[in-house]
């Protein structure tokens, strides 16, 4: 599709607002609940589509479907919470004879632009609150992974959503994204993707609300007193699940001096046991990356680090779109594998002496999505919570943890606003105030 198709889609969505206005809150609830049920009923088919499109391993694809269904169900419940308030207007002398209350109304047309790594979860976190609030949507799935997402959009219509209320644009995001974000009839842009694309959207969006999740290079801190069994199990998973193509990926692993060598040895032993292969196989732990080009980019970044003195502890080899789980140490901080978001199965070990140094290293990034610290010390935990410049700080949990009720989003270059059940829906409504002069 070309950028001219954006006008057609937005115009259809404007008509869709009238159709959405005819639906009651109960109707919108039922659309989301029926769609959630339909997703589970098609679990086998959608699983195969996700594996084929993304390279996601089977158990992750199955979990993706279950989670997407649950997210839509949770947003259906949020229709009950679209509430206002009744301020005491006579607390001001001018309001002596006045009574008023506020209520929430749909904001209008929502532009939802999604990424490839979790096609159905991201869709659900964007379309769920849009529909629950009564908006219409123009949805742009990732160009590499549109099929399963488009099928769910069809399920929404089959479940009773007006056809004009969901409009899908497939194609080149570099063309369609800015055209969609800059359209004056779009009132909210909810975007998940890279920081450069996010910055482009902010430049063209104009006066509208932006919900933007722009990634990170999450730090996981392991102190000398940490439960290493717990930390290792959590961080190895966070480093390599989804082939590292995850904004919560444990990219930087900060380990205190006293346990550094033990952690390194045990980490490499665990990670070396991960099985790379056919994502359709139930026994596979690591599948292919989204494309060979993505794997080549990761290969380039790793080789760049090795050329300036980094030490390879594990992996480091590519075969077509497969890239081995990789671990590096002694990496100069200015290299891209440390300073940028690699979005691949590569992690960097960093040694630190005390908690102050660890926090300084963790904060030395343009990102600020999630950080983690493993420690038995409440003092260290509270110190980290206060001083880490991240939207979420995990205590004795890895950065790759999210439940869908959390306010999800970050500081600095990691984005704007918060996603999550009960949070993004607020950005997709306007507050309207009614005031009555009872003394007139």
Active-site residues: which are they? 213, 247
**CA gap 351, 256 in Å, rounded:** 6
| DSSP 8-state symbol, 274 | P
Radius of gyration of the chain (CA): 23
8 Å CB contact between 281 and 59: no
- Distant-in-sequence, close-in-space partners of 167: CB < 8 Å, separation ≥ 6: 9, 10, 12, 13, 16, 136, 137, 138, 139
**CA gap 381, 330 in Å, rounded:** 26
**CA gap 130, 144 in Å, rounded:** 24
For tokens 């997210």, the residue is 71
Task: Find the length of the chain.
Answer: 440
> Which two structure tokens, joined as six digits, stand for 237?
């998973």
8 Å CB contact between 268 and 313: yes
Give the three-class secondary structure for 437: strand
Phi and psi angles of residue 348, each rounded to the nearest 5 degrees, phi first: -125, 125
| DSSP 8-state symbol, 368 | -
- Distant-in-sequence, close-in-space partners of 317: CB < 8 Å, separation ≥ 6: 323, 324
8 Å CB contact between 40 and 66: yes
CA-CA distances (angstroms) from residue 72 to 36, 124, 355? Answer: 6, 6, 40
- 58-78 and 25-41 helices, crossing angle to 10°: 170
| Bridge partners, residue 213, by sequence | 192, 415
> Which two structure tokens, joined as six digits, stand for 27?
């109707």
- Secondary structure of the chain: what % helix, strand, coil (to 5)? 45, 20, 35
8 Å CB contact between 54 and 290: yes
8 Å CB contact between 136 and 14: yes
């Amino acid at each position: 599709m070309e950028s001219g198709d954006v006008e057609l889609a937005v115009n259809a969505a404007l008509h869709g607002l009238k159709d959405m206005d005819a639906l009651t809150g109960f109707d919108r609830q039922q659309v989301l609940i029926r769609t959630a049920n339909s997703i589970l009923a098609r679990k086998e088919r959608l699983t195969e589509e996700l594996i084929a499109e993304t390279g996601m391993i089977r158990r992750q694809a199955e979990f993706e479907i279950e989670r997407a269904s649950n997210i839509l169900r949770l947003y259906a419940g949020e229709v009950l919470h679209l509430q206002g308030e009744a301020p005491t207007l006579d607390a001001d002398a001018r309001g002596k004879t006045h009574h008023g209350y506020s209520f929430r109304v749909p904001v209008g047309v929502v532009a939802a632009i999604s990424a490839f790594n979790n096609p159905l979860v991201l869709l659900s976190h964007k379309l769920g609150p849009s529909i629950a609030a009564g908006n219409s949507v123009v949805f742009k799935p990732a160009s590499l992974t549109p099929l399963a997402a488009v099928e769910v959009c069809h399920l929404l219509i089959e479940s009773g959503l007006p056809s004009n209320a969901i409009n899908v644009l497939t194609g080149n995001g570099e063309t369609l994204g800015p055209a969609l974000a800059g359209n004056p009839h779009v009132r909210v842009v909810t975007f998940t993707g890279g920081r450069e694309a996010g910055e482009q959207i902010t430049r063209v969006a104009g006066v509208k609300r932006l919900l933007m999740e722009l990634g990170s290079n999450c730090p996981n801190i392991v102190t000398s007193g940490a439960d290493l069994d717990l930390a290792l199990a959590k961080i190895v998973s966070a480093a390599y699940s989804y082939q590292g193509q995850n904004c919560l990926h444990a990219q930087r692993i900060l380990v205190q001096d006293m346990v550094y060598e033990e952690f390194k040895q045990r980490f490499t032993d665990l990670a070396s046991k991960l099985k790379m292969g056919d994502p359709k196989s139930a026994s596979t732990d690591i599948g292919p990356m989204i494309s060979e080009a993505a794997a080549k980019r990761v290969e380039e970044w790793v080789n760049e680090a090795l050329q300036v003195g980094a030490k390879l502890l594990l992996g480091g080899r590519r075969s077509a779109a497969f890239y081995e789980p990789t671990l590096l140490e002694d990496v100069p901080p200015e290299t891209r594998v440390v300073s940028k978001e690699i979005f691949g199965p590569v992690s960097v070990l960093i040694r630190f002496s005390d908690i102050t140094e660890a926090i300084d290293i963790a904060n030395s990034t343009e990102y600020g999505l999630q950080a983690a610290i493993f420690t038995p010390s409440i003092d260290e935990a509270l110190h980290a919570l206060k001083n880490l410049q991240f939207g979420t700080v995990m205590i004795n949990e890895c950065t790759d943890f999210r439940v869908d009720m959390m306010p999800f989003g970050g500081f600095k270059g990691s984005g704007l606003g918060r996603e999550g059940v009960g949070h993004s829906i607020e950005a997709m409504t306007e507050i309207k105030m009614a005031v009555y002069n009872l003394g007139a």
